[in-house]
Structure 1
Amino acid sequence: MARKKKVRSIVQEFDDYFGTGTLEDWQRLCHDVGLEGYYGSITQCRKALRTVHVNIRDLLEAVKQGEKPRRFASAAQLVAYTVNTRKFYPLSKVKEMGPVKVLLRNML
């Protein structure tokens, strides 16, 4: 039961952070993960975010503290970190075209 509550909590926390999915929400996400430059469309934001390797839970914590999250040089480094810290985002809660989908990396 505690695990389900934790899953709901992280999903709700990201949903609250991200907002409704406007261009401004996507631009804020780009900024918060440390991407510089201007992204004039959601498509541009998506493409840019695919190059960023951050742990979603760490991202949320960093935003709360007014900091940038740790960025990893590769997906493999992010995967190793995520497995070691067990800071996973529940796959069953990923929306097909949402921001979490863009940030997720294959853990296998």
Structure 2
Amino acid sequence: MEKADYFICFPDLQRAPMLSSDSEFNLLAQKMNWRKDSIRYRKERAKFLASEFNIHYGSNAKKLENWQALCVELDTSDSIRRISQCRRALRNIHVNLVDLVDSRRNGQTAKEFPSAAALRNYIKEMGKIFSRSAAKKDGFLKALLRVI
């Protein structure tokens, strides 16, 4: 894909792509002795999840084909002809970004929530938080970012 795999920084570690992204990252964190409550853990997790998103969805936010693929996957419309159309369509989509990454990893569909409030409750309950700063750096992620 367009960006390097996060794990390239850890050549001695084996990838486990069939696990959820959280499970795979937690294995790495254990091996690296990163505590869940540490700043290092949060920063590395944000880098890892952003890398995973880029691997599965691409990192070129100016490429219409990437936007169209995301819109098709999230079942917004099949007639997206401009990036601005896709951005508008994604405003009404409420999906957990960690689950979206995992949907590509495990082949299951990410659950769409009926409202931002329902998504917010799910995120708080499950702890599946995607770093806002990492998401804001990426055009695709920014389009799906919701305030918790």
TM-score when scaled to structure 2? 0.66
Moved over 3 A (4+): none
Are the aligned partners of 1:32 and 1:63 in contact in 2 as well (CA < 8 Å)? no
Provide the identity percentage. Answer: 36
Gaps of 5+ in 2: 1-39
Letter in 1 for 2:82: S
Count residues with an aligned counterpart.
Answer: 107
Task: Give distance in 1, aligned partners of 2:116 and 2:41.
Answer: 29
Residue in structure 2 matching 1:50, options 73, 91, 111 = 91
Alpha-carbon deviation of 1:15? 1.9
Q: Deviations over 1:21-55 (max 9, x none)?
A: 21000011111222232100100000001100000
CA RMSD of aligned residues (A): 1.6
Larger radius of gyration: 2
Letter in 1 for 2:80: Y
Tell me the residue number matched to 1:68: 109
Gaps of 5+ in 1: none
Tell me the residue number matched to 1:99: 140
Which one scores higher on RCO, CA 8 angstroms, separation ≥ 6? 1
Please state if 1:88 is matched with 2:129. yes
Are the aligned partners of 2:135 and 2:145 in contact in 1 as well (CA < 8 Å)? no
Relative distance call for 1:101 and 1:60 in structure 2 (3 A) is: same
Relative distance call for 1:96 and 1:11 in structure 2 (3 A) is: closer
